[in-house]
Structure formats: C-alpha cells, structure tokens
Structure 1
C-alpha cells in the first residue's frame, strides 16, 4: 500500500441492484430448463447494459454489473472457487422475520484459484459496455466468508497438514484471482464481508467470558492474515475496498452491534476504502472510526448513511449532521457516501422498487456534491 489516496469518489455505491422482471423471468425459465444458458445470458447482458447506462446517468464514477450474474452475493463466487462445491445444507440463514434458501458450499480439496471462473467473462462484458471516463467495479465476497463460517472450512484437515497451510492456500487463491481480474483490466475491486458483523455479535455475546471469546478473536486474527496476504504484492494502481455488512435479505438483517469489538482488526486491513453501514442504531456510534481509519492518509471511509432496505428518503439535515459528526474521527476529505448495503444482495431483492433505488442514489449524490465534493 502507498500513502497516496487511490479512491477519491465522494459518491460511491456498494454494487447490487434490484433485478428487472425480464431477468427474473429468464432465470426462472433457465432453472426449469425452458431456455438455454445462451438465451439467459442474452437477457442478462441486455439488463446489465441498461443498468450501466442508468448508473452513468446517476452520476456514478464507478459502475457495477448489479450482480445480475448471480443469485447470491457470495455463494455464486465461492462455490466456483477451486476446491469447493455447492450443496443443500437443509438449514438456512435465519434473518429477522425471514429465512433464506438453504444453499451452501463445502470444501472438496485443496483451495486454488479458478481462472475459468465465469465471473471473469462477466467482467469482460461489463468492461466492454462502460463508457470512457467511467470505471467498471468488481464485487466479490471476502475470503473471510470461508474461515470458520457456516461449516465452509470444515474438513480442512482432510487436505492440509496444518490450519496455517489451509489459510495460506486460501490467501493465494484470492491473490491469484485478484491478479487475474487486474490482468483483464480491472482497477477497482471490492470484497464484501459479513464476517466482521458476525464477529461483533459473537464478541458482544461473550463479553464477560474470555475463554468463550478466544476462538472468535483467533478467527478475527486469521481473517486479517488471509485478507492482507491476498492483497499483498498486487499492482499499485489496483484500488481495493471492502464493504462490512450486517446481512441484507428482503430488507431484513442478520447481525447487529457497533464496530468497537472489531475496530482494531479492521484498522489492520490493507484496503484503500471501507464501506461501513451506518444507517440506523444497529450500527452503533462513530467512535470506532478512529481505530478503523487508524491515521492512514491513503484510506477512504465510505459512510453508509442511507438505507437500501427502504424507499424512505433520509432527511438532508440529519445526514449533514452525521457527516460532520464522523469528521470528528476521520478527516472530512477522507469521507465519502453510499447506501449501507446493496439493493439486492440476493436475487429476491429488498422491499422497494427500481425507481425507489434511483431516487435514493440521487439524494446521495446531491448531498455528497454539496458536502464532500470540494473538501
């Protein structure tokens, strides 16, 4: 990492968007065997082109494919990483008021990059339709989603002599994946991560029991190690961000709690930008920002002050006050704005409409231009 700030977008986005009806229908038809993969891809590409045009019109400097190529924000990528497969785990995530589908992934062998991963072709298409002066942004899940999460690292001892050897291979698989995206032309990649919110919940639940906290603290240290190893030695003009999420399914959430229990770990991660949920009281106060920012002039803190779970528009005065409050812990010049999460982390989407999501982004741009563009 350098001391120069790479990301300077005062208005940015997490990445996922509500799927248009045509794409939803095509995916259902493909799942039933009613259309070919080529036919599905044609619909997906058309929807992605429309989305890119809409993002450009909204004033975004970096645009995504909306995650239109996947059903889940994380599993579609992880299940096609070398050494993993999909399976039905029967149990599902229990969000507040909702249960998800029961898909998961499991380890089947040594972990390695899959340079034939379909996400690479999806990026090539995105890159081909982005106009000059606008940057294509890649979003994939963090490797921490595999480390002691939902049985995904179970069975490591069948393929590795030590846990450390497993972690090293996982880091290398991600490093090689990120490098391949770069070789294809990507210069902005985001690693989405619910693990820190999971660890916040576990560390808070065991606050008075050091022995019970210890394994979660070790997992946090392992996460820092793997992520930083994955990022180490990548080209200097590659911008790398992370989005810390508390869960996002049909406008519900999975975890809650402020960042204080994990702030010291986040402050060690060698990302250029941190997208942080701050849309309601579940996210806690801004105090931990000082440790997350950790005095690093190259780091941007993207404040997720706007909910993607509701069409309700935030009050401008309230948002401005919160920006100024956050600036007590992070220089205002290092701040940016976005929604707290994507609009559709799974293909089901949140409970709002496509016009609602664009109104939300228009509000963010207006406030970002007003408060942060000239800082």
Structure 2
C-alpha cells in the first residue's frame, strides 16, 4: 500500500514567540483551549473562530492561537507542504485536551514515586529535580467521551482550507494507554476489575473521537504513541524485569487497545501510528534501542497500515527491523531530525532511504523498486515542538521550514511528481 503522502510531517511545529508567551501568561499549561468558540457538533458546523478583544489572558491566548494557526496553515499552502497541520498550536502538549475531555476521568498532579520506576519520560525530569507531573486516572466505573476533544479545533482548521485541500489535512490523537503504561497503579480496583476493562473504555473513546472528526470531513489521522518505543529501551527493560513488570503482557495489552481504537474504520480514512523516542525541549531524548524488539508484533499484529518511525540517529538502530514489514503496509521514515538544527545532506538522505528499501525488499523477497513504490515515504523523525516550549537545539522557525522543504525535495528526488506537481 503506497503511503498517501511521500513527504509527510509528524504534526507539531515551532510556535511563534507571542503564542508561547501568551500560554505562559495564561492559567493554562496542558489544559484545553479550543480554537474558536465552543460548538455543539449537532447544531453548529461553521466555526469561524471569532473572539472578543479583552485583557483576559485566556482571550489573549485564544487570539494568539487563532492567528498563529491561520498563519502556519497559509504558509504550508504557499510552500505546498503536505499534509497540512495546525502545528498543534491549539494544544499545550501533543496529547493535550483529549484526556481532560473524558467523563469519568481526571488529570491531576502525581508525585514521581507513583510512576513506574525509571520510566523513560521521567529520566530527564528527575535530573532536573522535578518532583512530579500530571497523570490521568479514572474516577468512575465507566470512562466515556461525551463531547469531542478536537472537533472545534478541526472545524476552525477546516474552514481555513480551500475545498480541494481538506483531504490533505491531518490531525493527531493520543493512544488509549498513554497514562496506563506510566503508572504503578493506573486505576483503583474499586472502579475497574482489570487493565483490559479500563483500556477497552479508553479505546472506545479514541475511536469515537476519530469517527467524530471523520464525520466532519477529516481524512488523515495520526495516533502518537512514543511510549511503544520504550519496549525497545534496554535500561527500562532491565528495570521492569527487576520490578516484576511483565512487559510481554503489557505490549499485548497495548496492541489490543490500539486495534480496538482503529478497527473497522472507513476505508477512505488514512490512519497511522507514530512511534519515536521522545523529543523534549532542546533535543533531549527519552529512550534508545532498535525497533527489532517489537517489529514483528508491531507490523503483523496491529491493524495499522502506516507506521511513522524514527531513523534520524544511532539511538534508533539500523533498518534491519523493516524486513518484517508486510507487503500491504508502509513506513514513513523519520530521517530528518528535529532535535538539532543542522541541515542534512540530500544525497546522504537518499542513500539512507535506499538502504531502508533494501531491508524491506529482502524481507519481502522483492526488488528495491517494489519497496520504494509500495512501502516507503519520508518525514522528520518527530514534531518540532511537542509541547508549548522551545524545540530542538538552535532551531529557528526559518530552519524548521528549511527542514520541511528538505523532506519535500527528498521525496521529489525519489518519487518524482508524487504530489501532482
């Protein structure tokens, strides 16, 4: 299955300084702030995003947010960058707003000792002396999504696009098990009888969110789950074994939760999963290790047809795991880094794509040309700013655009004319 975009992007973009400052000055950190006025999907499908001027910090944030999204969408259209994204400017962090929108669920401050020992996300935080952070927990015996987390944002975004470009828009959603994997006790046994029961509710909520967006015209969705890469991290694996954590069972749980969230979706909805190793401010990574540990299960037991994988540095390992990729699935190679501003050499990137194609072709018993045609695309390895703070080391917004243009040039060198130009 050929990927829908030969040049892709993960989702988050560097925010303008005015937007960063507006969020810092507001009372919001990771919490929701919709793009435009709150709408009810059953009554209002025309979100123009107009707001009143006010000195209220939240109104200032909303105005900055709307302006920044309009500008970044316009820039992508002008540069012919696909797919088109909002840069996640409407969120404080890439998974933001979804879990806060669930009924029977809350996100609250959690001391570090309540997280699984040596959980990779917490390593840099521990070094920085952070005593705790937010985490999500069920508060009732049923967790549901009563009102879409992202519909207002999508309607605002959609109305900025020419009609013929709506099909090229993409939004991201978090995975069902985002908080579950991180916590020593992710739920009270008084509320849920098992991990499976909680994850079933969360998967249903993610699926409902995806279908709501689809019903209003979105045709490309990316599920962001960097936590899956932690099953490749030797340090965390060693700690889990010492703590008696059954990683094989956990991986099975999360594969099922992903499959439940995306099973039986419409055939014209393009859904992929992004699995990188984290991208904290200033390029701080969270994990390392080859995808080989999870590749067979990832490619063969999940329902995904499209995988966004990190291959920009040695921490990701080589392309050997791609030999497990089935003929009818595809990988978007994250070969351009968002961790550092240095611009990659185009010819070296081309050679890396050919190496990946050779690994796929070997596993499938086919030729390089077959793998290039059916199984590959290229992208940055991660977003440029996964939260509302700074991005990678030395990055400017102009360098960000240069990186995206490099991805586009790389795709045009390997797949000439793929975007109709």
TM-score by length of 1: 0.89
Distance 2:194 2:111 in 1: 30
Please, which of 400, 418, 421 is the counterpart of residue 357 of structure 1?
400
Which residue in 2 is equivalent to 1:326? 356
Partners of 2:305 and 2:330 within 8 A in 1: yes
Aligned residue number for residue 297 of structure 2? 265
Aligned to 2:382: 341
Provide the residue aligned with 1:221 in structure 2.
Answer: 252
CA contact (8 A) 1:278 1:340 kept: yes
Deviation of 1:374 (Å): 5.6
SS of aligned partner of 2:223: strand
Find the aligned partners of 2:253 and 2:191 in 1 and give their Cα distance: 19
What CA deviation, in whole Å up to 9, does each residue of 1:267-294 have, x standing for no partner?
A: 1211231110000000001011122x2x
CA distance in 2, matches of 1:145, 1:47: 28
1:73 Cα deviation after fit: 1.2
- Give the 3-state SS of the residue equivalent to 2:75 in structure 1: helix
Q: Is the 8 A contact 1:156 1:163 kept in 2?
A: no
- In the TM superposition, what is the alpha-carbon distance from 1:195 to its structure 2 partner? 1.6
Give the match for residue 283 of structure 1: 316
Indicate the residue corresponding to 2:31 in structure 1.
none
Check the 8 A contact 1:300/1:335 in 2, yes or no: yes
Match of 1:256 in 2: 288
Residue matched to 2:75: 54
Answer 1 or 2: which has greater strand percent. Answer: 1
Partner SS for 1:79: helix
| Match of residue 340 from structure 2 | 310
1:41 aligns with 2:62: yes
Q: Deviations over 1:10-57 (max 9, x none)?
A: 101000011101212222232289625344222211100101111222
Match of 2:118 in 1: none
Number of equivalences: 366
Measured in 2, the distance between the counterparts of 1:112 and 1:236 equals 27
| Correspondence for 2:15 among 19, 22, 29 | 19
Which residue of structure 1 aligns with residue 415 of structure 2? 372
Structure 1 residues 167, 88: closer, same or farther in 2, change over 3 A? closer
Cα shift at 1:205: 3.7
Tell me: CA distance 1:126–1:338, structure 2 relative to 1, closer, same or farther (3 Å): same
Displacement of 1:131 in angstroms is 2.2
Q: State the structure with more CA Rg.
A: 2
Q: Secondary structure of 1:144's match? A: coil
Mapped partners of 1:213, 1:255: distance in 2: 20
Show the counterpart of 1:64.
85
| Structure 2 segments unaligned to the other structure (5+ residues) | 29-53, 113-120, 361-370
Structure 1 residue runs of 5 or longer lacking an equivalent are none
Matched, 1:95 2:124: yes
CA contact (8 A) 2:169 2:218 kept: yes
Distance 1:264 1:203, change over 3 A: farther
1:142 aligns with 2:175: yes
RMSD: 2.6
Report the Cα offset of residue 181 of structure 1.
1.4
Other-structure match for 2:4: 8
SS of alignment partner, residue 135 of structure 2? strand
Q: Which whole-Å CA distance do the structure 2 matches of 1:106 and 1:17 have between them? A: 29
Shift of 1:98: 5.6
Whether the 8 Å contact between 1:308 and 1:342 is mirrored in structure 2 is yes
Distance 1:249 1:221, change over 3 A: same
Q: Distance in 2 between matches of 1:305 and 1:131?
A: 30
Between 1:46-55 and 1:156-165, the stretch displaced more is 156-165
Following superposition, the deviation at residue 214 of structure 1 comes to: 6.7
Alignment-derived partner of residue 364 in structure 2: none
1:10–1:373 CA contact under 8 A, matched in 2: no
- Alpha carbons of structure 1 residues 261 and 213: separation in structure 2 relative to 1, 3 Å: farther
Write the distance in 2 (CA, Å) between the matches of 1:290 and 1:99: 41
What is the CA–CA distance in structure 1 between the aligned matches of 2:86 and 2:182, rounded to whole Å?
Answer: 27
